[in-house]
Structure 1
Amino acid sequence: MTAKAAFTQDKDALRFTGPLTLAAIGDLPDRLREVDGAIARVDLSGIDRIDTVGAWLVHRFAAEHKAEIDGLSPDGEHLLHQVEHANQAVDVRQRRQTGFIRVVDEIGEATIGAGKTLIGLLGFLGATAIAFWSVMVSVVRPPNRFRFNATIQRFEVVGVQALAIVGLMSFLIGIVIAQQGAVQLRQFGAEVFTINLIGRITLRELGVLMTAIMVAGRSGSAFAAQIGTMKLTEEVDAMRTIGVSPMEALVLPRVIATIVMMPLLGFYASVIAIIGGGLLCWTSLGIPPVTYVQRIREVVPITDLYVGLVKAPVFGAIIAVAGCFQGMLVEADAEQVGTRTTSAVVQAIFLVIVLDAFFAVFFTWVGWI
């Protein structure tokens, strides 16, 4: 027969004996409520075992009488400590904050998140550079780990398949720039300077910048979604298991393809924008195509072309690295694929615009105005 829990009272002390477990407690709670007088000490040195129910019962009794508990083994003391913390009141409702504190809290969280993301992106950029160096060394010292076929395939996806949408966008932008410039310059009788506006702004800024934004929305998001899906299906972990580096197999082909194709796409976009602007100048301003091309050659310095070609590969690297970085962060569920894809596009476009501002200041400082 299972022994029952019992207690004896000696003046201001209460001594428990037997097992303080659920099976042995019985009517002990009722008998404890009948205890008279002040109890200053609860002695548990005579108990055999104690479980969560027994610890909770002792804790409640000691709390009601403001008594000290002693005689427990280290394991029993740990269990009693856990019961004491579990017995604390829980604030179910979230404490309301003032509008100002909530705004400051959200700004702080966003700042911390942006800082962590920037540090992670820089670390990922460093890992990409290390992987690129290792692959280039393997080209010289076999076995060759450069994935030529994967890189060529990315050339087609990033560059060739984007020609139509980039060309259409650039053509329309050229028309808009020409139309708006002509309307404003007509007030001063200087419609001829519309050509200057079209040539310089497309080759120097808008051609590459708009192409970078288009590539970020098209290819950067695709990189994040593809790698993120591979993370969810554990394909990336499987690659590591068989000794294939995801940086070399997944990230490098995308980064190299974007860096190489961005200058070509940027130049292509600038030329198409100039053609679009020339078409509007021909139809609205009566400027013949021959005169338009000759004027473009006179007013657009070669440094404007150099500026665009220098910025393009940097923008391409940022777009590809941001997309692959966000894809590698996907975990847990499919919802994160969409979240990380959105983050990749926003992050890439933001960094492209920030870098474009720095490039503008730098090229002005070196005299390429």
Structure 2
Amino acid sequence: MEKPAEFSVRSAAESPDVQLVGDWTASSLGDAPARLAAALRGQSDLAIDIREVRRLDTAGAYGLIRAIGAGFDPAQVKGRPESLRLLQLVAAAVHAAPVAPVVSKGFRELTVRIGKGVMNLGHEFLDTMAFLGHLLVAAARSSVFLVTNPRRIRWAAIFSLAERAGLDAIPIVAVTSFFIGAVVGLLGANMLRQFGAEVFAVELIGIAVLREFNIIITAILLAGRSASSFAAELGSMKMNQEIDAMKVMGVDPFEALVLPRFIALLATIPLLTFVATLAGLFGGMIVVWTVLDLGPAFFLQRIVDNVGATHFWIGMSKAPVMAAVIAGIGCRQGLEVGGDVESLGRRVTAAVVHAIFAIIMIDAAFALLYMHLNI
């Protein structure tokens, strides 16, 4: 049970003696420092005894120092070694002169920011390589378990994540792709009508949807849904020290948390891309039917004859790469969360931004590759 902070002052001919008793802590301090300051007003050369103090924290030490004032001298205090050390630390902090921050301006500030950016980029690259290596080790270990001990694989987590991150996204992917296909068809019909080539809007819709927009729309929507979700989930677990507890129990977080998210996204993104393809073609077909009066049979026949399946497989070939990038960025940003909510917000935002940027860059790289291969 805590005892309130109290003191007694005994005046002598030479100097007053101050004896402190009780608990000089934040919860039991009360108005003791103010009463002590009033009792010692105008006094100097004080002898202070804190040996009877049961507990002393920084709040109590600061209250004692403020009550005594500028004449406080740790050498005149009698107490236990740990109490004296605490008083010395608090007194040094109280009397420390504030250090004015150095504000760099002009060209020097520019070079400092560039240098920090380069260093951060290097650290990000090293952390990404470490994350990739750990993930590959976990994947190889799980591949062995798939043959030797299939029950070791976390099938429940994989199916649950596949439903939540993939199948639940079918409505939004279908609706978005439908309107994208409709917009492409409307723009193509209006532009090609000037040249009397409205019929080629079918080929424009087919190539655009089958080759690019199906996977791009799917990947961007998954970057907003799944990458942010993965980062938030793993980040909250990191903040609550659940991941540290898993490591203490001998459970690899990559095997238990990261790998199921990779497998779930790799399994579901081809299905979502196929749904986006059908919805985009349907949207374009509706526009061609209503604006150009070209029926669905004519639309589908021109898609089969003039577009073909090559463009569809080109779009589908990008799906596994997009899934790996989205899952990797989301999980990595989640594992980098610190101990505060601000860090969680920054990492979730970074997961979405980095994933969308990586999607655009990867699609551009695929476009250059297929152009070089003349596909």
TM-score, normalization: structure 1? Answer: 0.73
Alpha-carbon shift at residue 196 of structure 1 (Å): 1.0
More divergent stretch after superposition (271-280 vs 185-194): 185-194
Q: 1:94 aligns with which of 93, 102, 119?
A: 102
Alpha-carbon shift at residue 143 of structure 1 (Å): 7.2
CA contact (8 A) 1:121 1:322 kept: no
Alpha-carbon shift at residue 151 of structure 1 (Å): 0.3
Match status 1:242 vs 2:242: no
SS of alignment partner, residue 176 of structure 1: helix
Q: Equivalents in 2 of 1:338, 1:237: separation in Å?
A: 21
Alpha-carbon shift at residue 367 of structure 1 (Å): 2.2
Alpha-carbon shift at residue 281 of structure 1 (Å): 0.6
Matched with 1:338 is 345
Matched with 2:296 is 289
Distance 1:198 1:115, change over 3 A: farther
CA contact (8 A) 1:136 1:146 kept: no
Q: Deviations over 1:5-61 (max 9, x none)?
A: xxxxxxxxxxxxxxxxxxxxx8xxxxxxxxxxxxxxxxxxxxxxxxx989xxxxxxx
Fraction of identical pairs, as percent: 41
Matched with 2:170 is 163
Provide structure 1 residue ranges, at least 5 long, that are not aligned to the other structure.
1-25, 27-51, 55-86
SS of alignment partner, residue 337 of structure 2: coil
CA contact (8 A) 1:132 1:248 kept: yes
Q: 1:185 aligns with which of 167, 187, 192?
A: 192
Distance 1:109 1:183, change over 3 A: farther
Alpha-carbon shift at residue 131 of structure 1 (Å): 0.2
Alpha-carbon shift at residue 107 of structure 1 (Å): 3.9
Alpha-carbon shift at residue 210 of structure 1 (Å): 1.3
| Structural RMSD (CA) | 2.6
Matched with 1:324 is 331
More divergent stretch after superposition (110-119 vs 200-209): 110-119
User: How many residues align structurally?
Assistant: 290
SS of alignment partner, residue 344 of structure 2: helix
Alpha-carbon shift at residue 340 of structure 1 (Å): 0.6
Match status 1:300 vs 2:301: no
Alpha-carbon shift at residue 334 of structure 1 (Å): 1.7
Letter aligned with residue 372 of structure 2:
W
CA contact (8 A) 1:196 1:300 kept: yes
CA contact (8 A) 2:174 2:275 kept: yes
Alpha-carbon shift at residue 343 of structure 1 (Å): 0.6
Matched with 1:59 is none
Match status 1:360 vs 2:360: no
More divergent stretch after superposition (302-311 vs 285-294): 302-311
Provide structure 2 residue ranges, at least 5 long, that are not aligned to the other structure.
1-44, 46-72, 76-94
Matched with 2:126 is 119
Q: Equivalents in 1 of 2:274, 2:120: separation in Å?
A: 36
Q: Equivalents in 1 of 2:153, 2:170: separation in Å?
A: 26
Structure 1 segments, 4+ long, off by >4 Å, are 87-91
CA contact (8 A) 1:138 1:145 kept: yes
TM-score, normalization: structure 2? Answer: 0.72
More divergent stretch after superposition (352-361 vs 118-127): 118-127
Q: Equivalents in 2 of 1:196, 1:101: separation in Å?
A: 56
CA contact (8 A) 1:262 1:313 kept: yes
Q: Deviations over 1:75-121 (max 9, x none)?
A: xxxxxxxxxxxx998751433402x5434443443343233223322
Matched with 1:151 is 158
Letter aligned with residue 109 of structure 2:
R
